[in-house]
Amino acid sequence: MHINYEKQPQFALNEIENPKEKPTYHVEKMRLSKDKSTLFYNDFLTLTGIPAEAFEYRLGNRSALEWIIDQYQVSTDKRSGIVNDPNRDDDEQYILRLIGQVIHVSLETMKLVKSLTTLGLEAKALAAEK
């Protein structure tokens, strides 16, 4: 599932389009609401309905979704002036789709982790106490 995350289905988010803005999927810098249930994708698009459980799967000190939000933004290296732009001209909805896939993979991973047994460790610990 993690190796082929880009082939996973997308978690269904609510897409709210701002009619006052030009329709675009171009990302400059995304940000989360304080309660993390809403992602401000750009001036045109806001994504709502992000489940709190999506933030339980963590890569180091932050969730996979927070990592995507942090890394997938336009930035310029101060020394070289090289611009890093994660947007794809050939696939303008790539980042939007990636967000849905990362949320899906995060939720499914946590379901798997929570379903794992303790592999008999509890029974061994009880036996050792006796």
Per residue in 73-85, pLDDT (tens digit) is 999 999 999 999 9
Beta strands in 1-130 (DSSP E): 14-17, 31-32, 38-40, 45-48, 58-59, 62-63, 75-76, 83-84
Is the pLDDT at 29 greater than 80, yes or no?
Answer: yes
Split at pLDDT 50, 70, 90, the class of 3 is low
Q: How many domains does the chain have?
A: 1
State the pLDDT confidence band at 91, using cuts at 50, 70 and 90: very high
Residue 59 belongs to domain spanning: 5-129
Give which of 73, 104, 95 is closest to 5, Cα–Cα: 104
CA distance readout (Å), 14 to 50, 111, 122 = 9, 22, 42
CB atoms within 10 A of CB 85: 14
